[in-house]
C-alpha cells in the first residue's frame, strides 16, 4: 500500500511511517511542494494510494470522492502534538487492514475513529 502525506500533517509522520515499513510520499518533501489540493488528489488516484491529511477540504466527498482512492485518512485538528499525531496514525494503520477503509473516508480523533 502506498501512502501520500499532504503538507498539512506533521513532518515527523513520514519518517515514522517509513520506519514502520510503509511506502510513503510526502508532498512537503517533493519538488511538487505547494501544489493545489486537486493536484494532490490526482497523485493519490494515479498511485492508487491512501491520502493522509489534516486538510478539512479533503473530507468533501463530492470534490474528493474517497471511492477513487485506497482511502482518505483525515486527522481531526485539535491540540495534537506531533508525537500524538504519529501515534494515532500508526495505531490506526496497525489495527485496520486497508480493505477495511479502502475507498472510504476515515476521521481520526485523539481517542476514536470514524470510517464512512
Question: What's residue 32's pLDDT?
Answer: 62
Question: What's residue 33's pLDDT?
Answer: 63
Give 85's contacts (C-beta < 8 A, 6+ positions apart).
9, 10, 12, 13, 75
Please check whether residue 47 is in contact with residue 25, taking contact to mean a CB–CB distance below 8 angstroms. yes
Question: What's residue 91's pLDDT?
Answer: 95
Host domain of residue 12: 2-115
Could you give the 3-state DSSP secondary structure of residue 26? strand
Tell me how crowded residue 25 is: count the other CB atoms within 10 A of its CB. Answer: 16
pLDDT by 10s per residue, the chain, length 116: 899 999 999 999 999 999 999 999 999 887 766 789 999 999 999 999 999 999 999 999 999 999 999 999 999 977 889 999 999 999 999 999 999 999 999 999 988 999 99
49: domain CATH number is 3.40.50
Number of domains into which the chain is organized: 1
Amino acid at each position: 500500500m502506498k501512502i501520500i502525506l499532504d503538507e498539512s500533517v506533521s513532518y515527523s509522520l513520514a519518517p515514522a511511517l517509513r520506519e514502520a515499513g510503509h511506502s510513503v510520499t510526502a508532498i512537503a518533501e517533493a519538488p511538487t511542494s505547494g501544489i493545489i489540493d486537486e493536484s494532490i488528489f490526482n497523485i493519490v488516484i494515479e498511485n492508487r494510494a491512501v491520502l493522509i491529511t489534516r486538510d478539512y477540504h479533503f473530507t468533501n466527498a463530492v470534490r474528493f470522492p474517497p471511492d477513487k482512492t485506497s482511502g482518505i485518512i483525515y486527522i481531526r485538528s485539535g491540540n495534537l502534538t506531533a508525537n500524538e499525531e504519529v501515534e494515532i496514525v500508526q495505531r490506526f494503520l496497525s489495527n485496520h487492514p486497508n480493505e477495511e477503509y479502502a475507498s472510504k473516508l476515515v476521521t481520526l480523533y485523539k481517542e476514536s475513529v470514524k470510517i464512512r
